Amino acid sequence: MEEDRGRIKREVLRDFARYIDPMKVRTLKAAGLDIVEDRREGASVWDITGRRYIDCTTGMGCFNVGRRHPRVVKALKEALDLLDTGIFLMVSRQKAQLARRLAEITPGNLTCTLFGTGGGEANDAAIKLARGFTGCKEILYAERGYHGHTGFALSAIGREAYREPFEPLMPGFRRVPFGDVEALEKAISGETAAVLLEPIQGEAGIRIPPDDYLQTVRRLCDENGALLILDEVQTGFGRTGRMFACEHWGVVPDILTVAKSLGGSLYPISATIYREDLLDFFIAHPFIHLSTFGGSDLGCVVALAVIDVIQQEGLVERARAMGERFAAGFEVLKRRYPGLLLEVRQKGLMMGLQFTNASIGPRMSYQLAQRGVLAIYSGNDPSVMRLMPPLVIGEEEVDQVLEALDEAMAQLMKEPGIGKED
């Protein structure tokens, strides 16, 4: 049986490399991440060979309620006996229920929703709405930011490698340094339709802005008649220890985008949630932004179950508590490996470990995988290891991750190229 599994794994990797992408397989292999997902449950995932891993990637924030949460699975199974995606042009009970729920759980006066299937699509819709509503064209976005690979979202991506092959991208997009109020003050004007930001940058390596940053951005947007779009695709639904990260700073955007965890790892769905008065734009153009599977009836059922689980099982509070447990462990690691671990950036269970150089991320992923922990270094900065476990992670699992980190760092200290040389 064991042997069969090994053979199946080799065949899957071979076919994936041949029919999908050989470089993807090679890169994953180099980082020890060439597992073939099989069973998934809670905070764990099993390789097809039967080896268990604690999942600290969660698809960069897809699985806040854990893998295959039983209540979400049950809701989807029951819905499959009665529903399908629904006709996207029609009125749907499930869409109405979910939109109302989103209005209830989001801060301030964000009461209207446009559904989509993914984060990039949600951001595209937000940018279209901002341009359509304000009549202005300019979109300001942040260096190293990440908003997806779709048309408008790609134009707001803060990494050259993702952009260059496709240029020219959408005109009217202008980049500013993240967290820099003065730079934003110089760039913003009456021509600005929107400022698009992640409240905490995920892909960039868990970058948390200075404490007064978002509040000042909010003020600058108001003074210049620009809209504030906050992309909470990674930070939303309890990840940072608040339902939405913007609540840490008491800032309400004009448009909030969410995806990933809303689908509970079971059904793709995203939402662009906006201030009621922006509806004026859609009153003139009710069918101007459509998505056949966006906010499908099945997706809405799943999303409603996800929100119930987060609220009823206290997962926001749990993210804070488990985050504190991790933080205590990181303090020990910082003292033990000062030449390797430079800084820890963390809000709740959104955690980034800043290492000394860019070679360390992939080596760290490799070492952790050897010790049963799945974690992926930051795409836009491989010197940062991202840890984003499901919010249902238990104390024992947190301790296992910390132990694996300790052993992995001890191992890395023995290897060449460690230190502050680059």
Q: Could you tell me the smallest distance in angstroms from the CB atom of residue 233 to ligand PLP?
A: 4
Neighbours of 77 (CB within 10 A): 10
The yes or no reply on residue 118 touching ligand PLP (CB under 6 A) is: yes
Torsion-angle region of residue 68: left (phi > 0), alpha (psi -120 to 50) or beta? left
- The overall longest dimension of the chain from CA atoms, in Å, is 67
Amino acid making up residue 210: P
The yes or no reply on residue 233 touching ligand PLP (CB under 6 A) is: yes
Beta-strand (E) ranges in 25-172?
37-41, 44-47, 52-55, 110-116, 138-142
The yes or no reply on residue 148 touching ligand PLP (CB under 6 A) is: yes
DSSP 208: P
Q: Could you tell me the smallest distance in angstroms from the CB atom of residue 197 to ligand PLP?
A: 10
Q: Could you tell me the smallest distance in angstroms from the CB atom of residue 262 to ligand PLP?
A: 10
The yes or no reply on residue 146 touching ligand PLP (CB under 6 A) is: yes
Considering the complex, state which of residue 214 and residue 233 has its C-beta at the smaller distance from ligand PLP.
Answer: 233
Distance in angstroms (rounded) separating the CA atoms of residues 54 and 129: 39
Considering the complex, state which of residue 47 and residue 231 has its C-beta at the smaller distance from ligand PLP.
Answer: 231
Strand partners, 374: 55
Contact region with ligand PLP (CB under 6 A), list: 16-24, 133-141, 143-151, 248-256: 143-151
Q: Could you tell me the smallest distance in angstroms from the CB atom of residue 142 to ligand PLP?
A: 11
Could you give the 3-state DSSP secondary structure of residue 228? strand
Give the phi and the psi of residue 207 in degrees, each rounded to 5.
-105, 120
Considering the complex, state which of residue 60 and residue 278 has its C-beta at the smaller distance from ligand PLP.
Answer: 60
DSSP 143: T
Minimal CA–CA distance to 269: which of 240, 235, 293, 243? 293
Tell me how many helices (H) and strands (E) the chain has: 15, 15
Considering the complex, state which of residue 234 and residue 354 has its C-beta at the smaller distance from ligand PLP.
Answer: 234
Q: What are the tokens at 14?
A: 């071979």
Contact region with ligand PLP (CB under 6 A), list: 20-28, 87-95, 230-238, 349-357: 230-238
Q: What are the tokens at 198?
A: 């992640």
Strand partners, 347: 350
The yes or no reply on residue 236 touching ligand PLP (CB under 6 A) is: no
Q: Could you tell me the smallest distance in angstroms from the CB atom of residue 148 to ligand PLP?
A: 3
Contact region with ligand PLP (CB under 6 A), list: 24-32, 36-44, 128-136, 140-148: 140-148
Q: Could you tell me the smallest distance in angstroms from the CB atom of residue 23 to ligand PLP?
A: 19
Contact region with ligand PLP (CB under 6 A), list: 19-27, 116-124, 168-176, 285-293: 116-124
Q: What are the tokens at 185?
A: 């003050």
Considering the complex, state which of residue 28 and residue 418 has its C-beta at the smaller distance from ligand PLP.
Answer: 28
Contact 106, 275 (CB under 8 A): no
Considering the complex, state which of residue 391 and residue 412 has its C-beta at the smaller distance from ligand PLP.
Answer: 391
Full DSSP string of 341-398: EEEEEEETTEEEEEESSTTHHHHHHHHHHHTTEE--EETTEEEEEEE---TT--HHHH
Considering the complex, state which of residue 55 and residue 231 has its C-beta at the smaller distance from ligand PLP.
Answer: 231
Distance in angstroms (rounded) separating the CA atoms of residues 285 and 200: 33
The yes or no reply on residue 119 touching ligand PLP (CB under 6 A) is: yes
Binding mask 251-290 for ligand PLP (x = CB under 6 A): --------x-------------------------------
DSSP 156: T
The yes or no reply on residue 58 touching ligand PLP (CB under 6 A) is: no
Closest chain position to ligand PLP (CB): 119
Q: Could you tell me the smallest distance in angstroms from the CB atom of residue 59 to ligand PLP?
A: 8
Considering the complex, state which of residue 197 and residue 393 has its C-beta at the smaller distance from ligand PLP.
Answer: 197
The yes or no reply on residue 60 touching ligand PLP (CB under 6 A) is: yes
Hey, which residues between 179 and 218 contact ligand PLP (CB under 6 A)? 198, 202-203
Q: What are the tokens at 98?
A: 């979910």
The yes or no reply on residue 412 touching ligand PLP (CB under 6 A) is: no
Neighbours of 49 (CB within 10 A): 14
Q: Could you tell me the smallest distance in angstroms from the CB atom of residue 106 to ligand PLP?
A: 16
Amino acid making up residue 360: I
Considering the complex, state which of residue 32 and residue 148 has its C-beta at the smaller distance from ligand PLP.
Answer: 148
Interface positions with ligand PLP (CB under 6 A): 60, 118-120, 123, 146-148, 198, 202-203, 231, 233-234, 259
